[in-house]
Amino acid sequence: MNESPAPEVKDTAVIGQPVISSRDLLAGRQEVIIQHGQEQYRLRLTSSNKLILIK
């Protein structure tokens, strides 16, 4: 799997956590695979503009 550069963090949430735009994360795609340790998760943008995270 090709690794792309990390999305740019544009803002900080009220509780001090970084905010990453889904637009930056998806970069024009309908879904991306997120590697978390040994597990892979699929983040998908639905036709109704909702996000679904699937293990």
pLDDT at residue 15, as a whole number: 76
Return the residue matching tokens 């978390």: 36
Q: Within the chain, which residues score under 50 in pLDDT?
A: none
Please give the span between the terminal C-alpha atoms of the chain, in angstroms, as a whole number: 17
pLDDT at residue 18, as a whole number: 87
pLDDT at residue 14, as a whole number: 67
pLDDT at residue 34, as a whole number: 96
Task: Answer left, alpha or beta for residue 38, where phi above 0 means left and psi between -120 and 50 means alpha.
Answer: alpha
How open is the CA angle 36-42-47, to the nearest 5 degrees?
A: 150
pLDDT at residue 48, as a whole number: 97
